[in-house]
């Protein structure tokens, strides 16, 4: 039996107790995580009070998670971890990425829509927007029959699930690409919005003097059997918060040109995406 002889010795004893884990990947991940956690505690000489606060934060993000919001996802987002996981898993041939974090507001089974259909189903006003693009494979070949699932906030920055003024599934829809790999939908131009700040994540942002406002964007989840599901967002190039996104989702590739047509006043966005070959696996929806 090995007993504690120093603070440092606890790590060896702990990881020794984990050696019989049958699942090799689980074993590697938990031992690595444990090692980093021990190093973190030692390096910072964590006090008992700080430890208690950290545990309260974790309990708090669980308790703040409910039907319409997922504070656990938000915590990963504001720490930059969601963006990091998304980026390392979706690097393209040039070392960039068309992917961005999922966020807490994707809902499964958004309405299947016809070509050009308007997904603004509540009377919210706002600037009309037309969104077009093409889905390609890595060799620039258009992909027909891909499903482009889109969701975005209202002109005042609320998702449908946060807002009594909007009908169920407003500003959400799924569109199929045509034989040239193109999609087209209409809606109203989304506004930037604050990430939820009424829970532990808001408290942390305030302590760090960080603003909560995401730059305006439209979310896309693009899928077709034989390709990796692409989860991404296209940001409004005119937004002043592009370089201070509280969840670190903005890359150069994902800044879109939201142009207002001088004659019709309609905003037009053209943005195309590349899918990588692979298995089509969908994420678990953060909210039902």
DSSP letter string over the chain? -----STTHHHHHHHHTTTT-SSHHHHHHHHHHHHHHHHHHHHHT--HHHHHHHHHHHHHHHHT--SS--HHHHHHHHTTHHHHHHHHT-B-TTS-BS-----S---SSPPB--TT-B---S-----EEEEEEEEE-TTS-B-TT-EEEEEE--TTS--GGG-TTS-TTTTEEEEE--TTSEEEEEEE----EEPP-SSHHHHHHHHTT---EEPPEEEEEEE-TTBPPEEEEEEETT-TTGGG-TT----GGGEE-EEEPTTT--EEEE--EEPPBS---PPPPS--
Under the criterion CB under 6 A, does residue 105 sit at the interface with ligand BEZ? yes
Residue 101 CB-density burial (10 A; 0-12 exposed, 13-18 middle, 19+ buried): buried
Our CB check for ligand BEZ shows the closer of 195 and 275 to be 195
Q: Least distance to ligand BEZ from the beta carbon of 260, Å?
A: 23
The listed partner (ligand BEZ, Fe ion, none) that binds 129, CB under 5 to 8 Å by sort, is: none
The binding track of 209-238 with respect to ligand BEZ, each residue x by CB under 6 A or -, is: -----x------------------------
The binding track of 179-208 with respect to ligand BEZ, each residue x by CB under 6 A or -, is: ----------------x-------------
Under the criterion CB under 6 A, does residue 104 sit at the interface with ligand BEZ? yes
Our CB check for ligand BEZ shows the closer of 128 and 212 to be 212
The binding track of 115-154 with respect to ligand BEZ, each residue x by CB under 6 A or -, is: ----------------------------------------
The listed partner (Fe ion, ligand BEZ, none) that binds 77, CB under 5 to 8 Å by sort, is: ligand BEZ
The listed partner (ligand BEZ, Fe ion, none) that binds 104, CB under 5 to 8 Å by sort, is: ligand BEZ
64, 74, 231, 275: residue in contact with ligand BEZ (rule CB under 6 A): 74
Stretch touching Fe ion by CB under 5 A, among 21-29, 101-109, 117-125, 268-276: 101-109
Compute the distance between CA of residue 75 and CA of residue 202 in angstroms, rounded to an integer.
Answer: 9
Residue closest to ligand BEZ when measured from CB atoms: 103
Our CB check for ligand BEZ shows the closer of 15 and 162 to be 162
Residues 222/139/89/256 CA torsion (nearest 10 deg): -60
Residue with tokens 């003097």: 209
Compute the distance between CA of residue 30 and CA of residue 46 in angstroms, rounded to an integer.
Answer: 21
The binding track of 53-92 with respect to Fe ion, each residue x by CB under 5 A or -, is: ----------------------------------------
Compute the distance between CA of residue 153 and CA of residue 190 in angstroms, rounded to an integer.
Answer: 5
64, 71, 103, 213: residue in contact with ligand BEZ (rule CB under 6 A): 103
Under the criterion CB under 6 A, does residue 99 sit at the interface with ligand BEZ? no
Q: Least distance to ligand BEZ from the beta carbon of 47, Å?
A: 30
Where along the sequence are the contacts to ligand BEZ (CB under 6 A)?
74, 77, 103-105, 195, 214, 247
Where along the sequence are the contacts to Fe ion (CB under 5 A)?
103
């Amino acid at each position: 039996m090995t007993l504690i002889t120093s603070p440092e010795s606890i790590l060896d004893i702990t990881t020794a107790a984990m050696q019989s884990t049958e699942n090799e990947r689980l074993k590697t991940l938990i031992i690595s995580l444990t090692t980093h956690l021990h190093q973190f505690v030692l390096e910072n000489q964590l006090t008992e009070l700080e430890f208690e606060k950290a545990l309260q934060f974790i309990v708090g993000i669980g308790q703040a998670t409910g039907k319409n919001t997922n504070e656990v996802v938000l915590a990963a987002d504001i720490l930059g971890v969601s963006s990091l996981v998304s980026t390392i898993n979706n690097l393209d041939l040039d070392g960039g990425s068309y992917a961005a974090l999922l966020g807490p507001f994707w809902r499964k089974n958004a309405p299947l829509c016809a070509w050009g259909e308007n997904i603004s189903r509540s009377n919210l006003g706002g600037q009309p927007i037309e969104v077009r693009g093409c889905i390609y494979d890595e060799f620039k070949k258009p992909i027909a029959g891909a499903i482009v699932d889109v969701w975005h906030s209202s002109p005042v920055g609320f998702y449908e699930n946060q807002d009594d003024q909007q009908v169920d599934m407003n500003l959400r829809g799924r569109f199929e690409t045509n034989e040239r790999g193109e999609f087209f939908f209409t809606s109203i131009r989304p506004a930037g919005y604050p990430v939820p700040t009424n829970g532990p994540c808001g408290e942390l942002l305030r302590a760090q003097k960080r603003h909560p406002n995401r730059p305006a964007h439209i979310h896309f989840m693009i899928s077709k059997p034989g390709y990796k599901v692409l989860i991404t967002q296209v940001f409004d190039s005119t937004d002043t918060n592009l370089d201070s996104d509280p969840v670190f989702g903005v890359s150069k590739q994902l800044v879109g040109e939201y142009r207002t047509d001088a004659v019709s006043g309609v905003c037009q966005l053209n943005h195309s995406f590349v899918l990588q070959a692979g298995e089509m696996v969908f994420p678990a929806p953060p909210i039902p």
